[in-house]
Each structure stands twice: as structure tokens, then as C-alpha cells.
Structure 1
Amino acid sequence: MANIKQQIKRNKTNEKSRLRNHAFKSSTKTAIKAVEKAVASGDKDQALSSLPLAHKKLDQGQAKGVFHKNFVARHKSYLANLINGLN
């Protein structure tokens, strides 16, 4: 445990940030899984309606610094390829 006042404050803010990032990552994974589930069932309309939310979550994560830009690009490409494979 830190005994320096500023480090104690920093530990508190780091913990808050960690929890916020964890919740955001979880909601992003849920959005991605919704698209994957729709593709697995062969429902292209449902997949196309779930895709914008997944893209939005990924873009927000990049803007907030939760995700790296290559991570976001890779996942957006992956989801697009899944949906294009339904034709």
C-alpha cells in the first residue's frame, strides 16, 4: 500500500478507470456477439441492424483510448466479412 498522499489518490482514480474500462469492454463484446449470433443463425437483416451498434462501440472505445486503432480496424473488418459471407 502506498504511503504517499498523491499515490493513494492516483490508485483510487486508476481503480475507477479500470472498472469503467471493464464495463465498456464488456458492452462492446456483447454488441459484437449479437452480430456473430445473427450471422450464425443466417439472419442477414438482424446482423445488419446489429452492426451499427458494434461499430459505434468500437469507435467510442478508440476515441476514449480503451482500444488501439488496429484492434478497432481488425474487428470492424471481421464483422463486415462475416456479413458479406451471408450472400
Structure 2
Amino acid sequence: MPNIASAKKRTRTTAKREAINHSRKTRIRGYVRKVEEAIASGDAKAAQEALKAAEPEIMRGVSKGVVHKNTGSRKVSRLSKRVAKLAK
């Protein structure tokens, strides 16, 4: 346990940030899961709508620093590719 005031504050701050980042990551996973489920069901329209909702959420995670830029781009790219393949 920290004894110095600044170290105590740092542990409190870290715990808060950790909770916020965890919820953001969970939110992103939820949106991605909806796209995955739509793709699995074979519904191209639902998959397109889910992707439309998921893309800004993933990029919001990138801008907030929860997900690395390349990771976010890769996720969007792969999902887009699968949705496009489903639409054909």
C-alpha cells in the first residue's frame, strides 16, 4: 500500500481509469459481437446496419486510447470485408 499522498491519489486515479477503459472495451466487443452474429445468421442487411454502428464505436476506442490505431483499423477492415462478401 502506498504511504505518500500522491501515490495514494495515483492508485485511486488508476482504478477509475481502469474501470472506464474496461467498460469502453466491453462496449466495443458488444458491437463487434452484433456484427458477427448478423454475419453468422446470413442477414446481409442486418450485418450492414450492425457494421455501421460498430465502426464509429471502434474508432472512438482508438481516439480514447483503449485500442491501438492499427488494431481498430484492422477490426473494421476485416468486418467490412466479411459483410461485403455476405452481400454478394
Whether TM exceeds 0.5 here: the answer is: yes
Alignment of 1:72-87 (within 5 A): 72-86=72-86, 87=88
Q: Distance in 2 between matches of 1:66 and 1:23?
A: 10
Q: What SS does structure 2 have at the residue aligned with 1:67? A: coil
Aligned to 1:68: 68
Report how far residue 53 of structure 1 moved. Answer: 1.6
Aligned to 1:22: 22
Q: Distance in 1 between matches of 2:68 and 2:30?
A: 19
Count of residue pairs the alignment pairs up: 87
Letter in 2 for 1:31: Y
Q: What SS does structure 1 have at the residue aligned with 2:3? A: coil
Q: Distance in 2 between matches of 1:53 and 1:22?
A: 20
Q: Which runs of 5+ in 2 are unaligned?
A: none
4+ residue segments displaced more than 3 Å: none
| Percent identity of paired positions between Structure 1 and Structure 2 | 36
Aligned to 2:8: 8
Task: Give the RMSD, CA atoms, in angstroms.
Answer: 0.7
